[in-house]
Amino acid sequence: MSHPQAIVLVGVIISILTLGVVTVLGSAKDENSTSNTKQFGGHTPGYGTYQTTGSVLDPTSLPTDPKNSVVDPMKFLREFNHGRVSHSADGSTIREFTVIASDQSTREISPGVNYNVWTFNNTVPGPTLRATEGDLIRINFINNGSGFHTMHFHGIHPSEMDGVFEGIAPGGKFTYEFIAEPFGVFPYHCHIQPLEEHITHGLYGTLIIDPKKPRANADEMVMMMNGYDTDFDTENNFYTVNGIPYYYMHHPIKIEEGKLIRIYLVNMLEFDPLNNFHLHANLFNFYKTGTSLVPDEYTDIVTMNQGERGILEFSYKFPGKYMFHAHKTEFAEKGWMGSFLVTEPENAVNASSFTNITTAITNPTNGGLS
Amino acid sequence: MERETGIIKDSISKKKIVFFGIVPFAILSMMIVLILSYPSLFFSGQFIVVPEISIEKVEFEPLKIIATVSNTGHSEVSIVQADVNDRIHSAAMEPDNTLERFESARVIIPFSWNEGQPYGIGLTTDDGTRFEKTIQFATLTPQPTLKQASNFALIGTYVGVIPVMIGLLWYPFIRKLSLNKYNFFLSFTLGLLVFLGMDALLEGNEIVVRDISSAFHGQMLLIMVAILSLVSLIYISSKLMKNARAKSSEPEYPVYTEVSKEDGSNVSSVQSSRQHLIIRPVALSMMIAIGIGLHNFGEGLAIGAAVLLGEVALSSFLILGFTLHNTTEGLAIVAPMARNKKLAIAKLILMGLIAGVPTIIGSWIGGFLYSPLATIIFLGIGAGAIFQVVYSVGSWMYYNNNKVLASLPIVSGFMLGIFIMYITGLLV
C-alpha cells in the first residue's frame, strides 16, 4: 500500500526541485533598476526611439573617441600634404616627405572596436601626398614596424623606385625619388607579400599629381574607400570612407550651395571585388584616374575595383542634407555611408539655423546619448 | 615483536598521517601562488585571451529582436556592435555591455523583421570578433499569456496525457496473457524504455551542439546528470521499498506467490530470489510512470523550446506522430500490473497523469523561460529515470524467470519494443 505512495512522494519532491532549478536558471538577473535611462535608435525612418537602462551600441550616432581613433576623418578629408618645398639647380621644385610605417598599435576603427592597424604616418588611410606634374618627389621612408614594409606608388618611375623587389627591413630606411608624372590620382601602398595582409591592415594612401595648369578653384577633398576584416575570415566586417564607419553620417560634411566640389576618390577595399560611390540628388563629372581634363562620364554612381580611382566634380543646386554611400547596399549598411550638408553661402545666420534644424530632425537621439 | 613495533608506529603515525595528508595541499597551494605571482617564469611572451560569447536565445517581439548572450570565455568581454543578417544596427544592451565570465545580458535590436524568414543575429566584441546565431524562421515569441498557456496545455495533453491514457486501455488485455506472453510484453516495455532513454540523451546532445557553449562541457553534463539521476533513483527507490516493507505487515512477496500459484512454477526459485525481490508490480508500474513522467517533462521542455525558438511549426501531423509514439508509454505502465488480481483503475489513472501531465508543465517552462542548460539537465534526469526503470523492471524479470533472460519471448519482445519506437519515431 505505502510503497507507491512513497514513490509518488519522491516524484513530487523531484518535480518541485526541478521546477525550482528551472526557475532559477530561467530567470536571468536582468533587473537593474537605475533611473539612468538612455535613448537609442531613431536614426532610421519608421523605427522610433527606444529607452534603455543599459548600454547603447550605436555606431551611427555615437562619436568615436578621437584620442584612440585610427584617424580623424574630418581633418583627413581636406588635408593635403605638399611636402617640404625646395628648388633644384635647374629651378624645378623638389617636394620632400617623411613617411613612417608602423605595425604595432591597436586603434579604435569603429566605436568600441579595436584592431591592430598597420599605418603610414599613424593613420589609416595614410597621408595624402600632393605634388605638381614635373616636381621631384623625394620620400624619406622609415620602417618602424616589426616586419618588412615598402612603399609602392602607382605612376611612372624607374624600377628601383617601385617599392616591390627591395623590402625595407624593420628599422631600415629608404629614399624613394621620382619625377611626378603624369598628372592624376594614384594610390600608394605597401608591396610586401602577403599583399592582402599588408593592405587590409591599412598600409595605403593617396598621391595626387596636379596638372601644371591647375584645375579650377574648388572645395577639394580626398575620399579613400576601405574596409576592415577584424576577425580575419577574409570578409570585411566594416566598410568606410576615410577610415571610420558611418563617420560622415553623424558628422555631415559642410559644403556651400553652388560651390564646385572636387573629390579625389580612391578604392583600396580588400577582399570584395568591387566598391562604388553614389551621390544623392545630384550628378557629377567623373574623370577616370584623373589623367584627363575632359570628363569621361556625367553620372551619379561610379564603380571601382581595388586600386581604381578618379576625380568627381559637382556642385549642389539646393541646400539641405544629402547622402552619399556605396550603392552596394551591404557596404553601406556596414559603415560606408556619409552625408553632405549644403548651406547657402552668403547668409551665415540662415545657414547656421538651418544646420541646427536639420540635425535635430535627422538625429533626434544625439542629445540623450552623450 | 611485530605487535610492539606496530603499536609504536601507530602512535607516531597519527601526526604523520595528518602531516602527509596536508603536504600535497601545501605544495599545490605554493604552486598556485607561484604561477599567479610570477606568470613570466612559466610562460614566455604575452597571454593571448580569446574572447568567447554565446548567443543562447533569440526572441522576436513586434519591431524588436532580443538576443540573450553570455560570456563563455575566460575573461571579461565587451560587446560593442550588433547586427542583423550581417548589417550593423543600433542596439541597447541590458544591464550593460561588459560581461564578466559567465555573466549574461540582453541585446535589444529595434528591427522590422518578417514572419517566417531566417535571420542571423551577430554581435561583435571589442577586438572585432563577430559571433553569430542563425534562427531558421522568425516567429513572434510566445508571451506567457493565458491563451498561450492553454495552447501549450492543449499540445501537452495531446502529446503526453491522451496517448498514455490510451495505452493504459490495454490493461484488461494484458491481464489475460500467459506467462510467456506476459514476459514478451514486459520486455517489449523494456525495449520502449531503452529507446526513450537513448532518445532523451540524443535530443539533449542536439541542444548541446546547437545552443550551449563548449565552456559548459554540455555533453559531459548531460551524461553526468543522467548517471547521477540513475544512481540516486536506484538508491532512493530501494531505500523506500525497504522502509515501507519493514513497516507494513503484508507478506513480502504477495505477487510473486500469486504468479507461482497460477503457473505452478517451481517454489525453489521463490526461495533463491527472496533477497532480491523487493519490488511489487504496482510499485514497479508507479516507478515506470514516474520515470516516463520525468522523461515527458524533458520532452515538454523541448517542445516548448522548439515553439519559442521558431524551429518547429507544430503541425497536426507532428502532434499525431507524438501521440502514436507516446501511446506505447501507457503500455509500458500497465505491463507489470498484468499479474495483479485486483483491478486498480484509480491507480492506473493516477499513474497516467503522473506520466503525462509533466509534458504540459514542461512545455510551459520550455516555452516561456527557455534555458538550454536547464533543458539538457532535465533531459539528463529523465534519461536517468528511464534507465532506473529499465534496471528495476529488468531485475524483477530476471528473478521472476530463474535468472534467465535469454528466452525467445523476452529477447523478441525487447527487440520489437525498440523497433516499434523507431518506426513511430519517424512520424515525429
Same domain membership, residue B322 and residue B270: yes
Cβ contacts (< 8 Å) between A18 and chain B: which residues?
Answer: 297, 378, 381
| Interface with chain B: mutation pick from A7, A21, A237, A249, highest number of B CBs within 10 Å | A7
For residue A252, give the nearest of A107, A11, A60 by alpha carbon: A60
Nearest-angstrom CA–CA distance, B417 and B352 = 20
pLDDT tens digits, residue range B295-324? 888 778 877 877 776 655 555 566 666 777
Q: Is A58 on the interface with B (CB under 8 A)?
A: yes
C-alpha cell at B40: 613570466
Q: Answer whether B108 sits within 8 Å of A52, measured CB to CB.
A: yes
Q: Which of B81, B110, B354 sits opposite A113 (nearest CB)?
A: B81
Same domain membership, residue B417 and residue B350: yes
Q: Which of A28, A57, A333 sits opposite B81 (nearest CB)?
A: A57
Amino acid identity of residue B221, one-letter, is: L
pLDDT value of position B253: 42
Q: Answer whether B290 sits within 8 Å of A50, measured CB to CB.
A: no
pLDDT tens digits, residue range B89-147? 889 998 889 999 889 999 999 998 998 899 999 999 999 999 999 988 888 887 777 88
Same domain membership, residue B305 and residue B175: yes
Q: Is A10 on the interface with B (CB under 8 A)?
A: yes
| Interface with chain B: mutation pick from A19, A57, A272, A336, highest number of B CBs within 10 Å | A57
Does residue B306 form part of some domain?
yes
Same domain membership, residue B154 and residue B62: no
Q: Answer whether B130 sits within 8 Å of A230, measured CB to CB.
A: yes
pLDDT band at A86 (very low <50, low <70, confident <90, very high): very high
Cβ-contact B356, B290 below 8 angstroms: no
Q: Is A30 on the interface with B (CB under 8 A)?
A: yes
Helix (H, G, I), strand (E, B) or coil at B110: strand
The mean per-residue pLDDT over the stretch B226-247 comes to 79
Same domain membership, residue B181 and residue B119: no
Nearest CA in chain A to B294: A15
- Which of the pair, A242 or A31, is modelled with greater confidence? A242
Cis peptide before A59 (omega within 30 of 0): no
pLDDT tens digits, residue range A117-173? 999 999 999 999 999 999 999 999 999 999 999 999 999 999 999 999 989 999 999
Cβ-contact A108, A150 below 8 angstroms: no
Place of cell 605638381: A132
pLDDT value of position A35: 52
Q: Answer whether B128 sits within 8 Å of A109, measured CB to CB.
A: yes
Angle at A241 between CA A238 and CA A242, to 5 degrees: 110
Q: Answer whether A32 sits within 8 Å of B86, measured CB to CB.
A: no
- Look at residue A256 and tell me whether its pLDDT is greater than 60: yes
Q: Is A231 on the interface with B (CB under 8 A)?
A: yes
Cβ-contact B347, B289 below 8 angstroms: no
Question: Domain boundary residue among B104, B135, B166?
Answer: B135
Q: Answer whether B78 sits within 8 Å of A4, measured CB to CB.
A: no
Cβ contacts (< 8 Å) between B354 and chain A: which residues?
Answer: 8, 11
Cβ-contact A237, A230 below 8 angstroms: yes
The mean per-residue pLDDT over the stretch A355-364 comes to 41
Q: At what angle do helices B372-400 and B281-308 cross, to 10 degrees?
A: 160
Amino acid identity of residue B279, one-letter, is: I
Does residue B95 form part of some domain?
yes
Nearest CA in chain A to B236: A10
Cβ-contact A127, A120 below 8 angstroms: yes
| Interface with chain A: mutation pick from B77, B86, B88, highest number of A CBs within 10 Å | B88
pLDDT band at B375 (very low <50, low <70, confident <90, very high): confident
- Look at residue B255 and tell me whether its pLDDT is greater than 90: no
pLDDT tens digits, residue range A264-287? 999 999 999 999 999 999 999 999
Q: What is the CATH number of the domain that holds B105?
A: 2.60.40.10
Same domain membership, residue B338 and residue B251: yes
pLDDT band at B247 (very low <50, low <70, confident <90, very high): low
Q: Which residues pair with B135 in a beta bridge?
A: B119
Share of chain B above pLDDT 90, in %: 15
Q: Which of B110, B282, B381 sits opposite A18 (nearest CB)?
A: B381
pLDDT value of position B365: 85
- For the ranges A61-65, A152-156, B400-404, the maximum mean pLDDT occurs at A152-156
How far does the CA of residue B144 sit from the closest CA of chain A (Å)?
A: 14
Cβ contacts (< 8 Å) between A22 and chain B: which residues?
Answer: 365, 369, 371, 374, 378
Cβ contacts (< 8 Å) between A60 and chain B: which residues?
Answer: 88, 90
Q: Answer whether B240 sits within 8 Å of A114, measured CB to CB.
A: no
Place of cell 553652388: A258
- Look at residue A207 and tell me whether its pLDDT is greater than 80: yes
pLDDT band at B227 (very low <50, low <70, confident <90, very high): very high
- Which of the pair, A196 or B336, is modelled with greater confidence? A196
Does residue B35 form part of some domain?
no
Instruction: For chain A, list the domains and their CATH numbers.
Output: 73-362 (2.60.40.420)
Q: Answer whether B90 sits within 8 Å of A57, measured CB to CB.
A: yes
Q: How many CB atoms lie within 10 A of CB A165?
A: 9
Scored b (16 or more CB within 10 A) or e, A102-123 reads bbeeebbbbbbbbbebbbbebb
Q: How many CB atoms lie within 10 A of CB A20?
A: 10
- Look at residue A245 and tell me whether its pLDDT is greater than 90: yes
Cβ contacts (< 8 Å) between A4 and chain B: which residues?
Answer: 282-283, 286, 347
Does residue B140 form part of some domain?
no
For residue A265, give the nearest of A322, A307, A296 by alpha carbon: A307
pLDDT band at B270 (very low <50, low <70, confident <90, very high): very low
pLDDT value of position A224: 98
pLDDT value of position B2: 47
Same domain membership, residue B157 and residue B85: no
Scored b (16 or more CB within 10 A) or e, A313-346 reads bbbbeebebbbbbbbbeebbbbbbbbbbbbbeee
- Look at residue B267 and tell me whether its pLDDT is greater than 80: no
Nearest-angstrom CA–CA distance, A14 and A12 = 5
Does residue B141 form part of some domain?
no
Q: Which of B130, B240, B373 sits opposite A10 (nearest CB)?
A: B240
How far does the CA of residue A117 sit from the closest CA of chain B (Å)?
A: 12
Nearest-angstrom CA–CA distance, A164 and A152 = 6
φ, ψ (nearest 5 deg) of residue A47: -100, -25
Helix (H, G, I), strand (E, B) or coil at A366: helix
- Which of the pair, A285 or B40, is modelled with greater confidence? A285
Q: Is A15 on the interface with B (CB under 8 A)?
A: yes
Cβ contacts (< 8 Å) between B88 and chain A: which residues?
Answer: 59-60, 245, 333-335
Same domain membership, residue B303 and residue B239: yes
Cβ contacts (< 8 Å) between B369 and chain A: which residues?
Answer: 22-23, 26-27
Nearest-angstrom CA–CA distance, B219 and B208 = 7
Q: At what angle do helices A2-26 and B218-247 cross, to 10 degrees?
A: 150
For residue B126, give the nearest of A296, A11, A2, A57 by alpha carbon: A57
Same domain membership, residue B165 and residue B312: yes
Of A71-75, B209-213, B243-247, B374-378, the one with minimum mean pLDDT is B243-247
pLDDT tens digits, residue range B73-96? 888 999 999 999 999 988 999 888
pLDDT value of position A352: 45
Q: Is the dihedral of CA A100, A103, A107, A109 positive or negative?
A: positive
Helix (H, G, I), strand (E, B) or coil at A91: coil
| HEC string for A96-109 | EEEEEEECCCEEEE
Amino acid identity of residue A182, one-letter, is: P
pLDDT band at B263 (very low <50, low <70, confident <90, very high): very low
Does residue B124 form part of some domain?
yes
Q: Answer whether A26 sits within 8 Å of B244, measured CB to CB.
A: no
Residue B399 Cα distances to B42, B256, B273, B274, B275, angstroms: 60, 10, 6, 9, 10
pLDDT value of position A117: 95
pLDDT tens digits, residue range A6-51? 666 666 666 666 665 655 554 444 444 445 677 777 666 566 678 8
pLDDT band at B153 (very low <50, low <70, confident <90, very high): confident
Same domain membership, residue B81 and residue B169: no
Q: Which of A7, A18, A47 sits opposite B287 (nearest CB)?
A: A7
Q: Which of B88, B91, B106 sits opposite A334 (nearest CB)?
A: B88
Does residue B88 form part of some domain?
yes
pLDDT value of position B235: 87
Written as one string, the DSSP assignment of B289-342 is HHHHHHHHHHHHHHHHHHHHTT-----HHHHHHHHHHHHHHHHHHHGGGGG-SS
Q: Answer whether B95 sits within 8 Å of A53, measured CB to CB.
A: yes
Nearest-angstrom CA–CA distance, B88 and A65 = 19
- Which of the pair, A172 or B9, is modelled with greater confidence? A172
Q: Answer whether B94 sits within 8 Å of A43, measured CB to CB.
A: no
Nearest CA in chain B to A332: B87
C-alpha cell at A144: 618602424
Cβ-contact B383, B295 below 8 angstroms: yes
Which A residues 187-226 touch B at CB under 8 Å?
A: none
Q: Answer whether B106 sits within 8 Å of A3, measured CB to CB.
A: no
pLDDT value of position A14: 67
The pairing of beta strand A238-241 with beta strand A219-228: antiparallel
- The mean pLDDT of chain A is 86
Does residue B375 form part of some domain?
yes
- Which of the pair, B78 or B155, is modelled with greater confidence? B78
Write the ipTM: 0.78
Question: Domain boundary residue among B135, B155, B172?
Answer: B135
Question: Domain boundary residue among B111, B135, B159?
Answer: B135
Same domain membership, residue B156 and residue B126: no
Q: How many domains does chain B have?
A: 2
pLDDT band at B272 (very low <50, low <70, confident <90, very high): very low
Q: Is A44 on the interface with B (CB under 8 A)?
A: yes
Residue A64 Cα distances to A109, A114, B247, angstroms: 8, 11, 76
CA dihedral A84, A90, A92, A95 (to 10 degrees): -20
Which residue segment(s) compose the domain that B379 sits in? 146-425
Q: Answer whether A112 sits within 8 Å of B96, measured CB to CB.
A: no
Place of cell 550628378: A283
Q: Which of A60, A111, A330 sits opposite B80 (nearest CB)?
A: A111
Angle at A128 between CA A122 and CA A133, to 5 degrees: 145
Cβ-contact A57, B94 below 8 angstroms: no
Cβ-contact A222, A128 below 8 angstroms: yes
- Look at residue B8 and tell me whether its pLDDT is greater than 60: no
Nearest-angstrom CA–CA distance, A56 and A71 = 23
- The mean pLDDT of chain B is 79
Same domain membership, residue B128 and residue B74: yes
pLDDT tens digits, residue range B171-189? 888 778 787 887 888 888 8
pLDDT value of position B274: 41
